[in-house]
């Protein structure tokens, strides 16, 4: 599946937005509260819904409603999806229109009715293996043991992305793996200095010489995120045709690993995996923008989306092929402000400490 665009009307922080995506790497930036994660979750919900299996209902072919997906991802109080409608006056509705593979997938939330969504069953026949994988900002290997069972039986504060990623991790490695993707795994295993092994409900990194296995709980959090990627590729969860949505990949990663992640994302896109990431990281956006501007490494489409808003106002979205195409860039703005503060502090320090030669 390849998502080419989405239209959002009156949903959470979005009053009206029409966004075009590229088939390669889509980078979403913006200050906190501008809807980055909301957009990522909405894309994931619609992707999961569109790739579902049809069921017969009377003379119509339908798939499961997108309602439980949105409830699980956004966790509105009491499961009331009308709380996700931005403006509540009158007969308020929120509309989402996802365009993928030449088809439209439309859903509407009513203030006083349960959402129901209908889809042309021919879409399902065209893309039976289409799927989305959402990687949340916090690593999951440490919470994996027993998590899915607890989530199914109890009310947990975690949203559904954590449950879904744990379900994806539960699959065993494939016997016949994608050869090209396996080469990417080797680069990630070099970072870990070992391979990822699953034993029961626990994950380990087995050293290259096979002399020791380190349990996931004992790994650095950044390395656990890398190990998650390795296993998702090995078990086929991430494969050609997958839509990968990764919320803040830089979280808990040492800056030295950021350039490896930037290259990894581009290599995934080069293999037919559409990528969406949200980030606050200067190095990550810098590496991706440099690759787009100077055509280094695998040449894949890259699009930057900058989201901004004033107070409680609606979100404004800009897009460009490089960072220089964006007028609103809070990451670069804050780095420039930091540099200015440093210069002012330095000049003040020198002025106060300079010896006085008055009277000489």
pLDDT tens-digit profile of 207-237?
988 778 899 889 999 999 999 999 999 999 9
The per-residue DSSP string of 179-202 comes to HHHHHHHHHHHHHHTEEEEEETTE
Q: What is the percentage of the chain residues whose pLDDT exceeds 70?
A: 88
The helix or strand, by DSSP H or E, that contains position 18, with its residue range, turns out to be strand 14-20
**Which residues, 6 or more positions from 303, have their beta carbon under 8 angstroms from its beta carbon?**
20, 21, 22, 24, 25, 26, 27, 319, 320, 321
Q: Using the CB atoms, write b or e for 72-96: b if 16+ within 10 Å.
A: bbbeeeeeebbebbbeeeeeebbeb
The whole-model pTM stands at 0.88
Q: What is the pLDDT of residue 211?
A: 79
The per-residue DSSP string of 97-109 comes to EEEETTEEEEEEE
Q: Using the CB atoms, write b or e for 46-62: b if 16+ within 10 Å.
A: bbbbbbbebeeeeeeeb
Q: What is the pLDDT of residue 108?
A: 81
Q: How far is 216 from 199, CA to CA, in rounded Å?
A: 11
The SS3 assignment for 30 reads strand
Q: How far is 278 from 36, CA to CA, in rounded Å?
A: 6
Residues facing 61 on adjacent strands: 56
Residues facing 302 on adjacent strands: 25
The helix or strand, by DSSP H or E, that contains position 28, with its residue range, turns out to be strand 25-30
Q: What is the pLDDT of residue 122?
A: 40
pLDDT of the chain, 360 residues: tens digit per residue: 899 999 999 999 999 999 999 999 999 999 998 999 999 999 999 888 877 644 444 434 444 567 888 899 999 988 888 888 888 776 688 889 999 888 888 888 876 555 554 444 344 444 444 589 999 999 999 999 999 999 999 888 899 999 999 999 999 999 888 888 989 999 999 999 999 999 989 999 999 887 788 998 899 999 999 999 999 999 999 999 899 999 999 998 999 999 999 999 999 999 999 999 999 999 999 999 999 988 887 889 999 999 998 888 888 999 999 888 888 777 878 888 888 888 888 888 888 876 654 444
SS3 content of the chain, % helix, strand, coil (to 5): 40, 25, 35
Task: Please report how many Cα atoms fall inside a 13 Å half-sphere around the Cα of residue 188, on the Cβ side.
Answer: 28
Record the tokens describing residue 88, joined without a space.
Answer: 């509540």
């Amino acid at each position: 599946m390849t998502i080419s665009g989405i239209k959002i009307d009156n949903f959470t922080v979005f009053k009206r937005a029409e966004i075009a995506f590229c088939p390669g790497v889509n980078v979403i930036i913006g200050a906190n509260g501008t809807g980055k994660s909301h957009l990522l979750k909405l894309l994931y919900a619609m992707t999961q819904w569109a790739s579902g299996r049809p069921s017969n209902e009377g003379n119509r072919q339908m798939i499961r409603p997108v309602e439980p997906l949105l409830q699980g991802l956004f966790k509105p109080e009491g499961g009331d999806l009308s709380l996700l409608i931005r403006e509540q006056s009158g007969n308020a509705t929120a509309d989402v229109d996802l365009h993928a593979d030449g088809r439209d997938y439309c859903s509407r939330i009513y203030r006083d009715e349960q959402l129901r969504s209908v889809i042309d069953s021919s879409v399902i026949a065209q893309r039976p293996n289409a799927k989305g994988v959402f990687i949340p900002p916090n690593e999951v290997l440490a919470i994996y043991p027993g998590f899915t069972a607890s989530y199914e039986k109890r009310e947990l504060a975690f949203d559904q992305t954590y449950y879904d990623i744990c379900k994806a991790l539960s699959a065993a490695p494939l016997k016949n793996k994608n050869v090209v993707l396996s080469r990417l795994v080797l680069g990630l295993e070099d970072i870990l200095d070992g391979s990822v092994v699953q034993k029961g409900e626990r994950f380990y990194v087995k050293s290259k010489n096979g002399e020791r296995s380190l349990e996931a709980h004992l790994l650095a959090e950044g390395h656990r995120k890398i190990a998650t990627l390795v296993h998702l590729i090995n078990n086929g969860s991430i494969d050609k045709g997958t839509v990968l949505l990764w919320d803040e990949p830089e979280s808990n990663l040492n800056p030295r690993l950021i350039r490896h992640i930037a290259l990894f994302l581009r290599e995934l896109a080069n293999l037919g995996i559409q990528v969406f990431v949200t980030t606050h990281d200067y190095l990550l956006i810098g590496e991706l923008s440099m690759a787009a501007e100077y055509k280094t490494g695998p040449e894949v489409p890259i699009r930057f989306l900058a989201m901004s808003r004033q107070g409680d106002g609606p979100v404004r979205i800009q897009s460009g092929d490089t960072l220089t195409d964006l007028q609103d860039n809070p990451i670069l703005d804050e780095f420039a402000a930091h540099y200015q503060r440093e210069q002012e502090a330095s000049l003040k320090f020198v002025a106060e400490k300079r010896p006085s030669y008055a009277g000489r």
